[in-house]
Structure 1
């Protein structure tokens, strides 16, 4: 009996089935992430993949069985995430867990991100206007030589469990099919969105830096890309994995966003809380990089904020982690926090991100509010997950794209600081845009 058949024929006769059921099993990795995602094209709009930089694993979710749409202010301004955690705790209380195979970690949880909350009228972010978290029907974690599967069942459906089980695991019979991903996206047209405004903002910001009103600022840029055919999550996944990139891609309704390379992140595991402030900014689709800042007072600001909110001392140290082919260097704020719900609320201390938007923060904010009211959505905001154990990992969404069928909005940013001139800034930004277009073989 092969590895799939023992799962297909599993005997549930001795299992007590409550309102909600979570079943866990393990498979040998005989198929790729992009092949797995492509099996579920009918679920377009309800899929995601998180290729994590810390564990080198890939987390794939298929089918959103439970969804929370929430107020972004709970996360961004009030040191509060109680709305999502209370909903998740209520769900967990109804769940029966069954392990066909033992997993090496807890993967069942809620997955999603915090939207900017001020982009209701932004066309690009229409499908991502709310802070949203989901429980996937099928969760597949690709790690080393194994794939850890976690399946969530809502037992209130008017079907026998045997029928539900048969339907949900039907993909097992298709895993070994060599389904090639066709229609890889090709660019038809690339257009700048509001180029005059963007260029004038560069000139104005450089003048403020020259006058020492600003120390640095990050300006956003948007390009519209029209493709000859529709893009696909499978094609995007295949490309980025072939480049050994870590990334996040999340679908909602008719849209998908893709981002990579976090600049700040939160990790809470076994009562150990770490906030990681990345000092290096890599481009979305190549290995170009630059050091973003050297202001030690920013790290001190974060430390003071964490110390005051948690009534404990946070250690600060530099860490070096090999990610891909280059060495990322970042500062880590670390302390032991036994209150899991409070630890997750640290998201409110990390975002929005003054490290990204500019410094001094109040001057940069006023400049951006006055000159370019861009809809940010998940851009510069946290995306990640909270597990059944209330461990959590969140990653910043840096440069990214949002796709709707054959129309892509590419979001990039450029850092302006002392001793830079207009032509150099334009040239550097153009390089960032052009390298991002390599995703489409441009």
Structure 2
């Protein structure tokens, strides 16, 4: 079977709404390398959309899954519980940047985690309102689509969406949005759309994912915390994409002097297995009545076992420090490339959460066209890259933090060549 034959089968068997980026089909993978069904080798800087901070098939993760596989694969935790779930909750409670005693509940997807954080916030505050930000991405379910601040492709043709959701501006110096302007937009929501005493939560990505890897300024996060404290609003940090060493800390919120009331997490939590979580202040997490939270597959035993192994790998291989080291190398290369690539408008980074934004140097407008050219040139040379951003003009980097040094240098050489017109 070759890639073209498989592609014909895909077009006949699956709907066009499941957009597929690559024209090749995976056969096997190891750490930062993918091989397709024709034996072609690709350096994976997509990592399943930020899921593989510990790489494809890390031996410790594989071993943990295999061990659990021989014990049991499913009971439904809320029917017959198991120790692994409780132990993982204890480990996360001890490490989340949340003040006071914390509790954690597990689910299957990032969108599920955000949906449940909304349920918990509304149960605790007895308020309906939710505030999120332009450029945000929180998922593909109806509530999380409402929270998402990017129309195409996520919201096209799917409305109407749940109400009581409002979008403030997210600081973006390149696009002229200062911290002050972002805070003014929040105040306008309080004046024109919903009173602050009707808002359950403000939900923010500390570094926006699909929005373009925009990094929340420290003063903005401090101001949000103060606003939430003033009006008894919960602050929810969506760390689905930023969590588990990507930014140089276990959680991106550790870069800030303030703490959220809840954190949502998924993606790299379980090394490729479907697992998500909501962690929060104990009194907040206890607001829903028994039976109000859960799900048939929530906290699947295989995924729980994988997550235990992921936390061990992050600590033993010092992946937070490695994220900083690799990110610095990448940013150095991107800065050096500016001279020969006038399309580079901005470089943003927090640890290894790195992005480069492109414009048309003649008009100053966002350039998704140049972004696609860079992706195509890189892929032809064996490097898989992902784009993002409201205008589709940002390339983000999601290499496994376990990538070998020699392979990382090779990837940077490919990227450097791809940035040259």
Question: By percentage of residues, which structure has more helix?
Answer: 2
Q: Shorter chain as normaliser: what TM range?
A: under 0.3
When the two structures are superposed, what TM-score results if normalisation uses the length of structure 2? 0.25
Max Rg structure: 1
When the two structures are superposed, what TM-score results if normalisation uses the length of structure 1? 0.25
